[in-house]
């Protein structure tokens, strides 16, 4: 525990407790009802963990985490007359679930850790008192409880003090806590990002020493914590903790790899810091925004996981593509293609959903497209291709591209912003005129087959793709002009001689 204990006077503690109870008002009837059932049977019942923490922080929580002195069998017997249904899928860990109407709860028997005496690896054992249960919780801010039905506040490990200091510290020694469950190290980073807390030095030290043990945790559990971190108010703070402790080397190694050694002539920016800055900027652009001359700019509501992942990972292809050029320059040719492949591989290994993997990698592939058109000399053809290639990711691509312009040169930054403003306005005009989101060739597959006298198959597919490219380049030119272009293309194909 921290040496800086927080001991509020009785009146302050009473005020804090009253505020916490007020936050729990939607659940008070449930908590009181269950508390009376268990105490009448001679057992203890307490609300514990996140719901108590959030109540003191003034945050509403939908979670109900309860712990009891009753055995799983006793808990099940008490819940069955009360609930409409019960389940015991967590029985081996002491957890019984129940539902009554809209109320759904899980109640876990007090836990106590027993060690094998050699490796100090803990094994599951049921306990007989609340304090022993609380000491095995991940952090002191989650080791506070309220006894039911009286709502008596229990805080043996100064969780309230940690809340006041915005500090993450473990009730038990940090190395023991992280040996119990290495995922707690990921949770530390998540709470830093989510609650604005700082990890105490013993926590940082233990995370650094035990970082490699995260490998024993399933990818699915790591994925869940990483998602919660990424959609938190300040993911940068959590990511920096992962990198600084070495945990990211085992979870998301592409991120610390961005810390490229900066040469003595400083021929390129710090890619790691740049990526975190792009993430910050992308988050700031979520939600309503203003583009002069555009009534309704595309909106990406936050927190948006896909946009944030793309912003974080957009440059992960740079370490593999860095080349020092003659004359002192540095290049990263095709880093967007390499980066998309690396992101696809990592996100799949972390068990991200297919649509998330697809959308993030597409954004990484396209994040440089805007810069390929010089100072804004965009033809209508280029605008059509930009929109068509982005597809349903266009709104996110707008924000990612804007976020990627991190130059400190105010004149250059203003010019880039103005150029992109112009691009968005042109896209809006063309989409209104041509319905760019639904661009198709002016001849469909049946018409193409009839004109060329060919059956459906690969050749017809090539013809369709050619006419789509022609449509993007030329715009809407009419069926006769498209037919002429189709016949011109066909005359150059090897299959045409046999038709």
Task: Supply the DSSP string of 397-413, one letter for each residue.
Answer: HHHHHHHT---S-HHHH
pLDDT, position 108: 95
Task: Yes or no: say if 21 and 55 are a contact pair by the CB < 8 Å rule.
Answer: yes
Mean pLDDT of the chain: 88
**Which residues, in sequence order, are CB contacts of 309 under 8 Å at separation 6+?**
230, 343, 347, 356, 360
CA distance 447 to 442: 10
Classified as helix, coil or strand, 109 is strand
Q: Is the peptide bond before 303 cis (omega within 30 degrees of 0)?
A: yes
Its CATH class, for the domain covering 1-169, is alpha beta
CA distance 384 to 431: 9
113 pLDDT exceeds 80? no
Residues of the chain with CATH 1.10.110.30: 173-251
CATH of domain 173-251: 1.10.110.30
- Find the radius of gyration of the CA atoms of the chain: 29
- The per-residue pLDDT for range 77-106, each reduced to its tens digit, is 999 999 999 999 888 889 999 999 888 899
56 burial class (0-12, 13-18, 19+ CB within 10 angstroms)?
A: buried
429 pLDDT exceeds 60? yes
**Which residues, in sequence order, are CB contacts of 356 under 8 Å at separation 6+?**
305, 306, 309, 347
381 pLDDT exceeds 50? yes
**Confidence grade of residue 456 (pLDDT, cut at 50, 70, 90):** very high
Q: Name the one residue in this structure whose structure tokens are 């069998």.
A: 73
**Confidence grade of residue 428 (pLDDT, cut at 50, 70, 90):** confident
* Overall average pLDDT of the 426-438 stretch: 74
CA distance 166 to 287: 28
Instruction: Residue count of the chain, please give it.
Output: 499
Task: Quote the percentage of the chain above a pLDDT of 90.
Answer: 59
- The per-residue pLDDT for range 133-185, each reduced to its tens digit, is 999 899 999 999 999 999 999 999 999 999 989 999 999 999 999 998 999 99
- The per-residue pLDDT for range 194-243, each reduced to its tens digit, is 999 999 999 999 999 999 999 999 999 999 999 999 999 999 999 999 99
pLDDT, position 25: 87
Task: Yes or no: say if 324 and 330 are a contact pair by the CB < 8 Å rule.
Answer: yes
Task: Quote the percentage of the chain above a pLDDT of 70.
Answer: 91
Q: Name the one residue in this structure whose structure tokens are 């291709």.
A: 385
Task: Yes or no: say if 363 and 397 are a contact pair by the CB < 8 Å rule.
Answer: yes
* Residue closest to 105 by CA, chosen among 41, 159, 33: 33
Task: Yes or no: say if 204 and 245 are a contact pair by the CB < 8 Å rule.
Answer: yes
Classified as helix, coil or strand, 47 is strand
124 pLDDT exceeds 90? no
- Token pair of 364, please? 């990484």
**Confidence grade of residue 39 (pLDDT, cut at 50, 70, 90):** very high
pLDDT, position 499: 52
Task: Yes or no: say if 388 and 369 are a contact pair by the CB < 8 Å rule.
Answer: no
* Residue closest to 281 by CA, chosen among 456, 462, 405, 151: 405
**Which residues, in sequence order, are CB contacts of 304 under 8 Å at separation 6+?**
286, 396
CA distance 360 to 314: 9
* Residue closest to 161 by CA, chosen among 137, 135, 197: 197
- Residue 498 DSSP one-character state: G
φ, ψ of residue 57 to 5 degrees: the values are -85, -5
H helix runs in 376-436, sequence order: 380-390, 394-403, 410-434
CA distance 79 to 464: 64
Q: For 379, left (φ over 0), alpha (ψ -120 to 50), or beta?
A: beta
pTM as predicted: 0.84
Classified as helix, coil or strand, 415 is helix
Lowest mean pLDDT, pick from 110-124, 130-144, 315-329: 110-124
190 pLDDT exceeds 70? yes
pLDDT, position 316: 96
């Amino acid at each position: 525990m921290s040496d800086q204990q927080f001991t509020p006077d009785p009146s302050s503690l009473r005020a804090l407790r009253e505020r916490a109870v007020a936050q729990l008002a939607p659940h008070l009837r449930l908590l009181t009802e269950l508390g009376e059932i268990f105490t009448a049977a001679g057992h203890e019942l307490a609300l514990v963990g996140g719901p108590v923490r959030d109540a003191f922080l003034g945050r509403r929580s939908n979670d109900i985490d309860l712990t009891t002195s009753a055995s799983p069998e006793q808990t099940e017997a008490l819940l069955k007359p009360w609930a409409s249904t019960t389940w015991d899928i967590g029985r081996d860990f002491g957890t019984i679930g129940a539902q009554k109407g809209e109320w759904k709860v899980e109640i876990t028997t007090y836990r106590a850790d027993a060690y094998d005496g050699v490796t100090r690896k803990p094994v599951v054992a049921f306990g007989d008192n609340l304090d022993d249960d609380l000491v095995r919780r991940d952090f002191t801010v989650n080791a506070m409880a309220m006894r039911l039905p009286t709502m008596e506040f229990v805080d043996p490990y100064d969780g309230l003090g940690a809340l006041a200091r915005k500090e993450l510290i473990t009730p038990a020694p940090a190395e023991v806590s992280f040996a119990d469950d290495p995922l707690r190290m990921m949770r530390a980073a998540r709470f830093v990002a989510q609650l604005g807390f700082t990890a105490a030095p013993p926590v940082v030290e233990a995370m650094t020493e035990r970082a490699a043990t995260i490998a024993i945790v399933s990818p699915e559990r790591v994925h869940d914590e990483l998602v919660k971190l990424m959609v938190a108010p300040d993911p940068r703070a959590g990511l920096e903790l992962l990198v600084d402790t070495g945990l990211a080397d085992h979870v998301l190694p592409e991120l610390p790899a961005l810390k490229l050694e900066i040469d003595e002539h400083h021929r390129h920016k710090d890619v790691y810091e740049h990526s975190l800055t792009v993430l910050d900027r992308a988050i700031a652009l979520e939600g309503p925004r203003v583009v002069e001359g555009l009534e309704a700019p595309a909106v990406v509501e936050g927190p948006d996981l896909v946009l944030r992942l793309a912003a974080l990972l957009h440059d992960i292809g740079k370490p593999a593509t860095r080349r020092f050029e003659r004359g002192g320059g540095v290049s990263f040719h095709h880093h967007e293609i390499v980066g998309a492949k690396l992101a696809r591989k990592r996100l799949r290994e972390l068990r991200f959903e297919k649509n998330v993997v697809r959308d993030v990698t597409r954004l990484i592939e396209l994040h440089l497209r805007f810069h390929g058109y010089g100072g804004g000399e965009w033809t209508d053809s280029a605008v059509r291709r930009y929109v068509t290639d982005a597809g349903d990711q266009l709104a996110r691509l707008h924000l990612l591209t804007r976020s990627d312009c991190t130059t400190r040169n105010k004149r250059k930054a203003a010019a880039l912003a103005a150029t992109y403003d112009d691009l968005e306005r042109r896209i809006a005009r063309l989409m209104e005129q041509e319905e760019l989101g639904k661009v198709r060739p002016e001849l469909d597959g049946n018409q193409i087959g009839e004109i060329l006298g060919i059956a459906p198959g690969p050749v017809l597919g090539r013809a369709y793709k050619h006419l789509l490219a022609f449509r993007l380049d030329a715009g809407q030119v009419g069926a006769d002009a498209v037919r002429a272009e189709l016949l011109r293309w066909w005359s150059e194909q090897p299959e045409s001689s046999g038709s």
